[in-house]
Amino acid sequence: MSTKKSPEELKRIFEKYAAKEGDPDQLSKDELKLLIQAEFPSLLKGPNTLDDLFQELDKNGDGEVSFEEFQVLVKQISQ
C-alpha cells in the first residue's frame, strides 16, 4: 500500500470523521464508510467489504470504532 500517513494525520482524519454524528470520539459504521471512501478507497478493493472491516475493527462489539480500535487499521495502512 502506497498511501502512507503519519500518526498525526491519521488521528486528525479519525477525529474529523468521528465528529460527524453521535459520539465525537467514536466512529459509527457510516462514519467509517465515509472515512474509508474518502481517504483509503484502496482498502475496499478485493475481498474486503466495509462490513468485514467494521467487524474486524470493532473488537468490543459495541457498534462503534474507538481510536484505540482504529489502531488496527492504522497498522494495516502504514505497513
Q: How far apart are the first and last CA of the chain?
A: 7
CA-angle at 75, arms to 71 and 50, nearest 5°: 70
Asked whether position 52 contacts Ca ion by CB under 5 A, the answer is no
Q: Which residue among 42, 55, 60, 78 contacts Ca ion (CB under 5 A)?
A: 60
Of 10, 32, 58, 70, which lies in the binding site for Ca ion, with binding defined by CB under 5 A? 58
The one among 10, 13, 14, 18 contacting Ca ion by CB under 5 A: 18
What's the min distance (Å) between Cβ of 50 and Ca ion? 15
22 binds Ca ion (CB under 5 A): yes
The closest of 23, 35, 29, 24 to 74, measured between CA atoms, is 35
